[in-house]
Amino acid sequence: MESNVNQNLQQQNQTAPILTVKDWMLTMLLLAIPVVNLIMLFVWAFGGGANPSKANYAKAGLLWAVIAIVLYFLVAVLFLGSIFAGLKVGMN
């Protein structure tokens, strides 16, 4: 069992090159640009040609973005609901 896992890891290491510091610096630069960052995350996550490490990073980034949007929406609804409830009480 352990030898199969080791063989799979070795095969993955041989097929996927290690990303250099320069590659990650360029990745971070592109992710710092608004709108471009979302487009690039989708390209890297689902484009098929990206390094598996970068693809996994992009998928994780998209998941964090979805979580942030959901939390933002919930906070906005609660905040706006409390404001409107306060206005309604103030009118009576």
Tens-of-pLDDT digits for all 92 residues of the chain? 666 666 665 665 567 899 999 999 999 999 999 999 999 999 999 998 899 999 999 999 999 999 999 999 999 999 998 888 888 776 66
Please classify residue 19 by burial: count the beta carbons closer than 10 Å to its beta carbon, then call 0-12 exposed, 13-18 middle and 19+ buried. middle
Question: Where in the sequence is the domain holding 50, given as residue range(s)?
Answer: 2-91
Query: What is the number of domains present in the chain?
Result: 1
pTM of the full structure: 0.72
Exposure letters 22-40 (e unless 16+ CB within 10 A, then b): eeeeebeeebeeeeebeeb
